[in-house]
Structure 1
Amino acid sequence: MAFRIAQALSSIGKLALATAIGASLIAGDVAAQQKQPSPGSAKAIFGGVQLPTQGAPQPFGFYAKGCMAGAEALPTDGPNWQAMRLSRNRRWGNPAMLSTIEQLSRDAAKYDGWPGLLVGDIAQPRGGPMITGHASHQIGLDADIWLTPMPNFRMTAEQREALPFTTMLQKNAFLTINPNVWTPAHARLLMRAASYPQVERIFVNPAIKKKMCDTWTGDRTNLGKLRPEYGHDSHFHIRIKCPPGAANCKPQAPVVAGDGCDKSLAWWFSPAPWAKPKPPKPDAKPVKPREVMVSDLPKACQAVLDAPAVSSVRAATYGGPSAAEVLRAQPIDAPPAANDDELPDLGPVPDDKPAAQ
């Protein structure tokens, strides 16, 4: 596998050119994600809702096309985690997702030498498409965990907004792990998360996947759950299965058998992901892109938007401010923090390759 990847890398040409191409594509994705949606779009409508619905938790639709009812907020602080970027108001999720985060925070601290989780985006109060940053995270069953260890003090809201992301990649080297940043504890954390039966996939940068393939000497049964995906070099993305009894939740195709350290990984290091799409035929009718509307989502999502909000938000169990207190202190339209270099989560297509550029 290493030989195939080396061959693929050589076929790209100069590393500087490959890096420049990648930066250009990513910049285009960021610009597209940051474009302000029209007031009637699903992004604008779901992004403007501040509180979840009353009633039992229910996911509706698919990870990248849906919404949710009865969401709960992850407390801002727990024994082994701290929630980040509170102004985004995106720490809402299905209770099954929150339980998974809490379980990982405990187990990683107890068994893997990981001091605690910094938890990024989960979902909006009623899920749905986000104005910026993600294509998935719409039904409360996705969560981003930073690859930065939690500090040994409770950060202020301001510190949580300003703390920069730390990439695991080496500067000026195409898809290469930085040995001064990556540690064995990172590997143990990822494999701990992958060991849970409810975890469907964990998205990581292709370079991280290759590092795990080359160096992980423990049980490799769950290594196949680590799926390569650009934009995950400073955090990893946990996706859990549809909870039992969630009849309106659309599952993703199961991960294929094996550890994923084969030609499917070599593809990410080849010129293929950077290839330009074929030009349309001269007589082809141009397709004008349009924004996703609420009517494009499952029918239940309109009812989710119309449902009454909870009258009060459960206070944080472990001592931090409640979600309602954060909302009062941090308006949800606060500008992005400086140094916020998080890359957009493109939402993988079913074969786990990036969407066409």
Structure 2
Amino acid sequence: MHRLAAILLVLLLSPPSALAQDTDPIPAADSSTLAAIANQAINDIPAKKLFGAQKTPASMAARSFGSYSRGCLAGAKALPINGPAWQVMRLSRNRNWGHPKLIALLEDLAEDAREKDGWNGLLVGDISQPRGGPMLTGHASHQIGLDADVWLTPMPNRTLTRAERENISARLVVKDRKTMDYSVWTEAHARLIKRAASYSDVARIFVHPPIKKELCRWATGDRSWLAKVRPYYGHNYHFHIRIKCQNGGCKDQWAPNPKDGTGCGEELAYWYSDAPWRPPKRDPNAKPPKPPKPLTITGLPAECRSVVTVE
């Protein structure tokens, strides 16, 4: 608790601009004072600041608590920033942590795709924070160590520098929300996504709608893997892997399976209609809604309090 108390004291005394930086040095205070501050303040500090300040995983057995968009992660494991067939991007975010099952799956995917599918190696984006939980910036999901973003740009034949990993951008494989860019997209992209969907632990793969349509056109033989691949905006330069819960206390992905067994029919047609793009009707005379109160530790599973406070 003492380490957390020190972090809380920094969060309380630091200006917002300092919150994205390292929390050290920690203000001096005796242990009893720090503990008292922690016990009093933890319920009021936004959860994203609590979890965003953690630099190391919780020394507990590996478990995911809550749901993909509201939970935390104990016993996280880091994906090494360099592997035989992968490199981690955006190192400054410290988001290369996940449930050990997910880390093992990413390592297997990287090597399988290189050996069997002609994909040179993975560039891995965000997984989770060291203790999961809400993030200061970016994703709503990725909170329980079971989500990972994989770039649709193959790894180069050299080790990227830290500066390159911060600044290089992935190439878009689509032109817009309905059209593929065939000057970028190759059959190796399709084989990579199919490979990822083939693992039994994978529950969902999210891709931009035209990528799903292209996979439906390309796939032959057993097409059942396509049911896992779901269209969702924002996945035009990477695909999102989501694996199943590995323990009790974790809420699995739920969504009805596509009626046609592949998602290449009605579900895909919806994403090509104008329905997802229709703005909600608003009363011009209505007062603007009040912004919601920030999520705190009290809005997360009870186990997350131990996850964020354990040394």
Aligned position for 1:136: 141
Contact 1:224 1:255 in 2 (8 A): no
> Which residue among 42, 51, 67 is the counterpart of 1:46?
51
Aligned position for 1:225: 228
Corresponding position: 1:63 with 2:68: yes
Q: Deviations over 1:116-135 (max 9, x none)?
A: 00011000000001111100
Corresponding position: 1:120 with 2:125: yes
> Which residue among 164, 171, 179 is the counterpart of 1:166?
171
> Which residue among 177, 180, 185 is the counterpart of 1:177?
180
Percent of aligned pairs with the same residue?
A: 52
In structure 1, give the amino acid aligned to 2:243.
I
Mark the CA change 1:283 to 1:91 in structure 2 (over 3 Å): closer, same or farther: closer
Instruction: Say which SS state the counterpart of residue 237 (structure 1) adopts.
Output: strand
Query: Whose Rg is larger?
Result: 2
Structure 1 consecutive aligned stretches of length 4 or more whose deviation exceeds 3 Å:
278-288
> Which residue among 73, 82, 91 is the counterpart of 1:77?
82
Q: Give the TM-score normalised by the residue count of structure 2.
A: 0.82
Work out the CA distance in 2 between the residues paired with 1:180 and 1:123: 32
Aligned position for 1:276: 279
In structure 1, give the amino acid aligned to 2:279.
K
Work out the CA distance in 1 between the residues paired with 2:56 and 2:89: 18
Aligned position for 2:254: 253
Aligned position for 1:202: 205
Work out the CA distance in 2 between the residues paired with 1:58 and 1:107: 26
In structure 2, give the amino acid aligned to 1:262.
G
Instruction: Say which SS state the counterpart of residue 115 (structure 2) adopts.
Output: helix
Work out the CA distance in 2 between the residues paired with 1:110 and 1:71: 28
Q: Give the TM-score normalised by the residue count of structure 1.
A: 0.72
Matches within 5 A, 1:281-292: 286=289, 288-292=291-295
Aligned position for 2:196: 193
Q: Deviations over 1:20-45 (max 9, x none)?
A: xxxxxxxxxxxxxxxx99x9211111
Work out the CA distance in 2 between the residues paired with 1:217 and 1:179: 20
Query: Offset of 1:254 from its aligned partner?
Result: 5.1
The count of corresponding residues between Structure 1 and Structure 2 is 268
Contact 1:63 1:137 in 2 (8 A): yes
Contact 1:201 1:255 in 2 (8 A): no
Work out the CA distance in 1 between the residues paired with 2:65 and 2:165: 31
Contact 2:205 2:240 in 1 (8 A): yes
Query: Offset of 1:255 from its aligned partner?
Result: 5.1
Work out the CA distance in 1 between the residues paired with 2:64 and 2:283: 38
In structure 1, give the amino acid aligned to 2:224.
T
Structure 1 stretch displaced more, 269-278 or 122-131: 269-278
Contact 2:81 2:87 in 1 (8 A): yes
Mark the CA change 1:220 to 1:99 in structure 2 (over 3 Å): closer, same or farther: same
Structure 1 stretch displaced more, 206-215 or 93-102: 206-215
In structure 1, give the amino acid aligned to 2:253.
Q
In structure 1, give the amino acid aligned to 2:172.
T
Mark the CA change 1:240 to 1:174 in structure 2 (over 3 Å): closer, same or farther: closer
Work out the CA distance in 2 between the residues paired with 1:53 and 1:122: 16
Work out the CA distance in 2 between the residues paired with 1:215 and 1:174: 19
In structure 2, give the amino acid aligned to 1:70.
G
Query: Offset of 1:143 from its aligned partner?
Result: 0.4
Query: Offset of 1:158 from its aligned partner?
Result: 1.1
User: What's the Cα RMSD here?
Assistant: 2.0
Query: Offset of 1:284 from its aligned partner?
Result: 9.9
Work out the CA distance in 1 between the residues paired with 2:265 and 2:121: 32
Instruction: Say which SS state the counterpart of residue 222 (structure 1) adopts.
Output: helix
Contact 1:118 1:145 in 2 (8 A): yes
Q: Which runs of 5+ in 1 are unaligned?
A: 1-35, 309-357
Aligned position for 1:303: 306
Contact 2:66 2:249 in 1 (8 A): yes
Instruction: Say which SS state the counterpart of residue 124 (structure 1) adopts.
Output: coil
Work out the CA distance in 2 between the residues paired with 1:270 and 1:164: 29
Mark the CA change 1:210 to 1:220 in structure 2 (over 3 Å): closer, same or farther: same
